[in-house]
Structure 1
Amino acid sequence: MNDPIRVLVADDHPLFRGAVANSLVEAGGVEVVAECGDADSAVSAAGDHLPHVALIDISMPGDGLTAVARIATDYPAVRIVMLTASEQDDDLMRALQAGACGYVLKGVTADALAEIVRMVRSGGSYISPEFAGRVLTTIGAGKVKTAGTPDPVSDLTARELQILRLVARGASNREVGDDLGLREATVKFYMTNILQKLQVRNRVEAALIARERGV
């Protein structure tokens, strides 16, 4: 039997926090190891429990984004997902830059949130669909190309394109390796090259570019 996914829930609204925790436990396969109401408590709980996934709101005492940056730096094995009401593009980009691998709006259903937690635990990333087009626009605005400048996707090798396609579908490094017959460490090496060639910071941005280009 697989061990449960250990999850930390950080939100300064006790009723919402409790509802999220209960819904994840009821979905099965999840153990909520800590519930926190502020950034300092979230960072401390991350160190004490080393959860697989931390769900963190942006608006909380001490600043949720500060908690994300501290957890990502001190406990890099913890996968961080923002669970927030903020639909501000700046908040999304700052969260990704701080180390989050997911950004989910609070209107998400309980079943969908449980599935996102499972996806992120396995190495995937997730951004609420409402943001996809806007993020691509923001990324593109920061990388305006002059006429005749080649698309960075065209610099990818056949193997890198294979990997990027799978990542764009939400596959983790392990799943990519299993699909292509590669070691996970080899996939990580390829991913480093892909991120450098696409001039992006993480696999979320790489996946969004892949979808935009129809890779």
Structure 2
Amino acid sequence: MQHKIRVAVVDDHPLYRDGVVFALESEPDIEVVGQGETALEALQIAHDHTPDVLLLDMNMPGGGINAVAKIAQRCPSTKTLMLTVVDDEDEVRSALRKGARGYLLKGTSSSELVNAVRLVNKGQNYVSPGFAAQLIMSRGAEENTPSETPKQFPELSDREEQILMLILQGLSNRLIGGELGLTEKTVKGYLTSVMEKLQVRNRVEAAMIAAERISGKKSSLK
């Protein structure tokens, strides 16, 4: 019998929490083992139930980041994934430094939520690709114009770098193909090459590497 991913959800908005729980429990490989509303309850749930993944609201009573730091210390086997309306870069980096394994904006689709839980459970980090694009806008794009910016990805061809930049904007392979006049299969081939050259496992990790280089900051995901 397949081991289910044991998940807990802590958010002080009952209606939103119910929606997250419903989306997770609709998946055959996920089991919700606890719910709460505060940082104190998050710590208690982590201690009592030892979930594989604990979803935390950034702005819940007691502070989501405070809860992340304590859970990372006391229950290291539990991986935390932040759920929040805050799309502030400093908040993201702070949460990741404190021990969060992912950062997901509220309003995301249920399929992305489930995918993030599965990836985090496997030991990977997750940050929404769309938010990675915002990191670029807030850092690199403000500092240099394209003509002034040194080549950030010397290992990539111009076309591969072009595709990577569109990935940062959250575009799918189909939309990238439409933008560049390429077939979806061709885009997929370029993306495979990009991931191999950047030594990453998926497009999200590729986006975060790109964000790191353009922002000039060391990635908090390393």
User: What TM bracket, shorter-length normalisation?
Assistant: 0.5 to 0.7
The answer to whether the 8 Å contact 1:165/1:210 transfers is no
In the other structure, the counterpart of 2:26 is: 26
Alpha-carbon distance, 1:27 to partner: 2.1
In the other structure, the counterpart of 1:54 is: 54
**One of 191, 196, 200 as aligned partner of 1:166:** 200
Paired residue type of 2:45: A
Paired residue type of 1:166: V
Alpha-carbon distance, 1:28 to partner: 2.0
Q: Does 1:83 align with 2:117?
A: no
The answer to whether the 8 Å contact 1:69/1:99 transfers is yes
Inter-CA distance 63–114: structure 2 relative to 1 (3 Å threshold):
same
Q: Deviations over 1:92-142 (max 9, x none)?
A: 1111111111110111111221111111111111111232134357787xx
TM-align CA RMSD = 3.3
In the other structure, the counterpart of 1:13 is: 13
Paired residue type of 1:70: K
SS of residue in 2 equivalent to 1:87? coil
Alpha-carbon distance, 1:169 to partner: 4.6
The answer to whether the 8 Å contact 1:50/1:75 transfers is yes
Q: Structure 2 stretches of 5 or more lacking a match?
A: 141-150, 155-194, 216-222
Cα distance between partner residues in 2 of 1:207 and 1:2: 36
Q: Does 1:42 align with 2:76?
A: no
In the other structure, the counterpart of 1:63 is: 63
Paired residue type of 2:112: A
Paired residue type of 1:56: L
- The percentage of aligned residue pairs carrying the same residue is 38
Rg (Cα) greater in structure:
2
* 1:115-134 to 2 correspondences below 5 Å: 115-134=115-134
Q: Structure 1 stretches of 5 or more lacking a match?
A: 141-150, 155-160, 172-202
Alpha-carbon distance, 1:47 to partner: 1.0
Inter-CA distance 66–31: structure 2 relative to 1 (3 Å threshold):
same
With normalisation by structure 1, the TM-score equals 0.66
